């Protein structure tokens, strides 16, 4: 076994959208597990939009990554050495490994995976993104049969979970995605009733007209993954007492494409006059619901009733560029990096 490991660190804080120079690939001594710890050889890593926020030195729901610190993130791997009861060498586990080839974690911070499912599903459809969609839709979307749902970033792991769950509950589901291929996947793979390519609309007014045609009865639930132009387009179409679970705002990460502040009064007025329920939520507040989620969704993934897509890149050294491209919509499905 090698005495060193590789990791990606934060070299500097981004100014706007991340660039390759914001990251650094370096070697470090292989950690040695203490009592209660497990040493993991990482095989798959997750890339998620929330990681962009961790690169900034701002107060948030979770700590920022320090300059020189390992980029945060969830991984899956094989146990090389265990000094903890209940975990043995060779077990496949998942935990917050960071962007690294190896990780040493307390056994209490990892979970052993079901050998009957691909390990990468723990990073997407059966991991944090899938749980986010399941909790957010049920708890904050409060869907009712016959309602209309609009989902931004609809072919990603969160959006596709939301759409499929809503469809199974009898809602009309409308996907907003970037490009013809993603729109096709939204309807053919994930079963959305309609899909709209936001890239085909130069402004919010044009996009609003397209959504209105697809949602003749208005919008009851808007799943907010994107913000920006899409938020501006959807808000005037919301029905009275509509619900907006706020999961992310990828269009505004890094300070790019911030909506004109002159639009805020009219957008905010929609919240008031339509008595909208706008609910920001962070999935870390709902980890206690993971067992119920897994019991409900796990069998549906195994049977194929819940579809998922993974976009798999290769190599730790390619993580920064893959991350940069993902933030611009370059991935198709859940972004995974295989080591």
Does 120 lie in the same domain as 29? yes
Question: Is residue 70 domain-resident?
Answer: yes
Structural domain boundaries, residue 204: 128-283
Same domain? 279 vs 221 = yes
pLDDT higher than threshold 70 for residue 11: yes
Q: What is the predicted pLDDT for the residue at 264?
A: 61
What CATH number is associated with residue 113?
3.90.180.10
The residues near 305 (Cβ < 8 Å, ≥ 6 apart) are 168
Residues 31 and 87 reside in one and the same domain? yes
Output the CA–CA distances (angstroms, integers) from residue 58 to 13, 71, 91, 253, in the order listed: 11, 16, 37, 13
pLDDT above 80 for 253 = no
Say what the pTM is: 0.88
Q: Which band of pLDDT confidence, cut at 50, 70 and 90, is reported for residue 262?
A: low
The pLDDT of residue 271: 87
**Whether residue 264 sits in one domain with residue 157:** yes
Q: Does 289 fall in a domain?
A: no
Q: Please name the residues in contact with 122: beta carbons below 8 A apart, sequence gap of 6 or more.
A: 74, 76, 94, 111, 113
Closest by Cα among 269, 277, 165, 180 to 219:
277
Percent of the chain past pLDDT 90, that is, above it, reads 81
Read off the pLDDT of each residue in 147-169 and give the average, rounded to a whole number: 96
Instruction: Rounding to the nearest 10 degrees, give the CA dihedral for residues 161, 164, 168, 172.
Output: 120
Quote the pLDDT of residue 128. Answer: 93
Domain count, the chain: 2
Confidence tier at 254 by pLDDT (50, 70, 90): low
Q: What is the pLDDT of residue 279?
A: 93
CB burial of residue 319 (10 Å; 0-12, 13-18, 19+):
buried
Provide the pLDDT confidence category of residue 261 given band limits of 50, 70 and 90.
Answer: very low
User: Do 217 and 319 belong together in one domain?
Assistant: no
Mean pLDDT throughout 91-118? Answer: 94
255 shares a domain with 154: yes
Whether residues 32 and 116 share a domain: the answer is yes
């Amino acid at each position: 076994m090698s005495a060193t490991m590789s990791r990606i660190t934060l070299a500097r804080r981004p100014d706007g959208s991340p660039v390759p120079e914001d990251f650094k690939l370096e070697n470090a001594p292989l950690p040695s597990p203490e009592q209660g710890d497990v040493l993991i050889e990482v095989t798959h890593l997750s890339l998620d939009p929330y990681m962009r926020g961790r690169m900034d030195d701002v107060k948030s729901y979770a700590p920022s990554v320090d300059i020189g610190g390992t980029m945060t993130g969830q991984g899956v791997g094989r146990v090389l050495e265990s000094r903890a009861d209940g975990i043995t060498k060779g077990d496949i586990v998942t935990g917050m490994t960071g962007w690294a080839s190896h990780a040493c974690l307390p056994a209490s911070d990892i979970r052993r995976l079901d050998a009957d499912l691909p390990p990468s599903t723990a990073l997407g459809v059966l991991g944090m993104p899938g749980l986010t969609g399941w909790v957010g839709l049920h708890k904050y979307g409060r869907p009712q049969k016959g309602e209309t749902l609009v989902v931004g970033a609809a072919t990603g792991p969160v959006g596709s979970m939301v759409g499929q769950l809503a469809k199974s509950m009898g809602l009309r589901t409308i996907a907003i995605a970037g490009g013809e291929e993603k729109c096709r996947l939204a309807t053919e793979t994930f079963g959305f009733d309609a899909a709209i390519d936001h890239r085909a609309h130069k402004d919010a007014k044009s996009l609003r007209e397209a959504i209105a045609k697809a949602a003749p009865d208005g919008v009851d639930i808007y799943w907010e993954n994107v913000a920006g132009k899409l938020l501006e387009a959807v808000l005037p179409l919301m029905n009275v007492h509509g619900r907006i679970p706020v999961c992310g705002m990828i269009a505004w990460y890094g300070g790019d494409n911030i909506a004109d502040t002159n639009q805020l009064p009219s957008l905010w007025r929609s919240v008031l006059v339509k008595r909208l329920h706008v609910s920001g939520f962070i999935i870390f507040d709902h980890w206690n619901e993971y067992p119920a989620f897994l019991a409900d969704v796990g069998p549906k993934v195994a049977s194929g009733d819940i579809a998922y897509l993974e976009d798999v890149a290769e190599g730790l050294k390619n993580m920064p560029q893959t991350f940069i491209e993902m933030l611009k919509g370059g991935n198709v499905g859940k972004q995974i990096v295989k080591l």
